[in-house]
Amino acid sequence: MALFDLPIERLRSYRPERDEPADFDAFWSRTLAEAGEFDLAATFTPYDLPLAAVDVYDVSFAGWGGHRVNGWFLTPRGADRPLPCVMHYIGYSGGRGFPHDHLLWPAAGYAVFVMETRGHGGASPQHPGVTGDPHGGDHAQAPGMMTRGILDPETYYYRRVFTDAVRAVDAAAAHPAVDAARIVVSGGSQGGGIAQATAALRPSVKGALIDVPFLTDFRRAVEITDRDPYQEIVRFLASRRDGAERVFATLAYFDGLNFAARGRVPALYSVALMDDVCPPSTVFGAYNHWQGPKEITVWPWNGHEGGAGFQREKQLRHLRELLADG
């Protein structure tokens, strides 16, 4: 990959205009309130694996619209008091995978709550998913999830996903093994975008780990990268000729720039300079708007894999400090 975005010197201070609807906060308050009318009804079913060190639960809870959302919940075996918990959101197209894909945080002494992104994971042999999105579309859409219901913020796919994500925090917080005051949201790519939004929508979380976040500065993204999934939006607009105004009006309610501008908890970001899936300017755009304590790791020679396991090690050390109890 050659460099294709702004040079790092400019990225450091790049802080784009945000397109924020006047009723942004009202929209989300109402959305979460409506969802709150459904009982969480979280279930944690023990999942039989011959693992000595962790307890594994097959999780399900009522997300947006009361729809069942699946995931995994793992805790280190034998803890004698509530533990910090890492919320893990998944990247585009992946499912929750297997419990043993998520052993990192338990090994570090934390619980982990993995939430599936509804509808994803059906063509992901290494990280399969199960959760459906029972809410179909009221208009034709491009394949993939980016444009499902995109003509109206009320019906847009990510309204359901972000709501699921907030409620997953609630489900985790209510679990007796979890110390509700020490929940951290995390994820990479789509998962990073969800974590970013959730940190803004549920400011009680303790921190956020946001890697190469997707769903951020849509307007710029669709103009500077040829890659999916941002290009799903372009294909939709190429077909739906009269849709651009409505589409961008919808996306303004879901843009990571607007969530970042509401982020007040400590955030550890990462960005890759050769990332043509989530271009670095879109990541720095959000980072530079973030209001809370923050730090960003720059991977100059990487693409969308970003910091990969190196970033995990940074996060381990970051959380050791952040979550140290009293």
Q: Is 269 annotated as a binding residue?
A: no
Q: By CB under 8 A, name the one of 26, 41, 181, 238 that touches a second copy.
A: 238
Cβ atoms of residues 24 and 258 within 8 Å: yes
CB of 244 to a second copy, least distance (A): 7
Q: By CB under 8 A, name the one of 172, 237, 268, 277 that touches a second copy.
A: 237
String marking each residue 177-216 x if it binds a second copy according to CB under 8 A: ----------------------------------------
**DSSP bridge pairs for 72:** 58, 114
**Is the CB of 144 or the CB of 193 nearer to a second copy?**
144
The SS3 of residue 72 is strand
Q: By CB under 8 A, name the one of 111, 112, 116, 260 that touches a second copy.
A: 116
**Is the CB of 66 or the CB of 109 nearer to a second copy?**
109
Closest CA to 1 of 238, 315, 308, 305: 305
Cβ atoms < 10 Å from Cβ of 100: 12
Contact call for residue 234 and a second copy (CB under 8 A):
yes
In terms of Cβ atoms closer than 10 Å to its own Cβ (0-12, 13-18, 19+), residue 16 is middle
Cβ atoms < 10 Å from Cβ of 256: 30
Q: By CB under 8 A, name the one of 37, 81, 136, 176 that touches a second copy.
A: 136
Which element (helix H / strand E) includes 207? Answer: strand 207-211
Q: By CB under 8 A, name the one of 49, 181, 204, 291 that touches a second copy.
A: 49
| Of residues 140-159, those binding a second copy (CB under 8 A) | 140-144, 147
Contact call for residue 249 and a second copy (CB under 8 A):
no
> Strands 111-115 and 68-76, how do they pair?
antiparallel
**Is the CB of 76 or the CB of 213 nearer to a second copy?**
76
Q: Which amino acid is at 4?
A: F
Contact call for residue 3 and a second copy (CB under 8 A):
yes
Whole-angstrom distance, CA of residue 149 vs CA of residue 135? 9
Contact call for residue 8 and a second copy (CB under 8 A):
no
Query: Total residues contacting a second copy (rule CB under 8 A)?
Result: 83
Q: By CB under 8 A, name the one of 29, 45, 204, 239 that touches a second copy.
A: 239
> Strands 207-211 and 54-62, how do they pair?
unpaired
> Maximum distance among all alpha carbons in the chain?
59
Q: List active site positions.
A: 189, 275, 304
Q: Which residues are annotated as a binding site?
A: 92
